[in-house]
Amino acid sequence: MFAPTKIWRHWHRRINQNQRRYATASAIAATALPALVQARGHRVAHINEIPVVVDDGIEKFTKTKDAVRLLKQLGVYTDVQKSAASRKIRSGQGKMRNRRHVQRRGPLIVFNKDEGIHKAFRNLPGVNLVRVDGLNLLQLAPGSHLGRLCVWSQSAFKRLDAIFGSHRVPSVEKSGYSLPRSSVTIPDLARLLKSNEIQSVIRPRIARPKKAAAAHNPLTNIAALTKLNPYAATFKRLRTLASTKADQKNAAAPAAKQATSAAPAKGSAAIAEISSEEAKARKIRGEAAFLGAASAFMGTVTKKANSK
């Protein structure tokens, strides 16, 4: 829920105390992993070892120049410069609501006793200070990203066992609290499962049974028909081509017929005239033949009568 911004809005969520302690302990453990620290964006190329633990004399620093000299010797000052270079004006309406600038987080200084250390480091851009007994996720994992670059004083680092205890020894400062034991001690499960110790005792892999091929009807499936008769595909293609040519010829026939019927009228008249003259000639020739045959018949009859 993003609105309304009223006092009765449910601003917070209750989390069990044991879960909060476990999350803080996990965030502290993440500060000791160079991969997570570098992945969060910190400059760790010039740091010899992570976590960075220094003598308790750091807690007595009162001058900023002493703090800068120490950070340069440790190789942490490049991360401070990165944080200073990232300062810019916030985008959006927040710049008008007393939060004008945004800046990346730099290293976190963890101390046990404040004997002037706060004055020495408070003016460095991106640097935060916190007592070891006041550690929380807001400093250890800003933006919910694990791996904050931390600089510990020696007494603060030793006090972690008294605050959180261990898997075997309960906490001294938190009544009845012990760190929960991890279910898996090696997080690299792929390497663990492929190890010789495990592979030597597990059973062989069960082969997956092969499924029978589905039967297809060759009369309706061209692929099945081609397996039986390789010429079937060629025959089908030739038949398709022949059918296409026949369709094209049938489509062109009406056009040819229309072109023939649309011949000039003058030619039709000439043809009609020639036909009538030929008919007259045939009639004359027929009449002549009939008259010739009739005269021949009459001559034959006359001869027979005279002979009697």
* Domains of the chain (ranges, CATH numbers): 17-90+100-180 (3.40.1370.10), 222-307 (no CATH)
Give pLDDT tens digits for 47-77.
999 999 999 999 999 999 999 999 999 999 9
pLDDT at 260: 65
Largest CA distance in the chain: 182
Is the entire prediction scored with pTM above 0.75? no
pLDDT at 300: 64
pLDDT at 282: 64
Which stretches within the chain are classed as H helix?
17-30, 34-39, 64-74, 77-85, 117-121, 137-140, 154-164, 189-193, 196-199, 222-228, 232-261, 265-307
Would you say 148 and 169 are in contact if contact means Cβ atoms under 8 Å apart? no
What percent of the chain is modeled with pLDDT above 90? 54
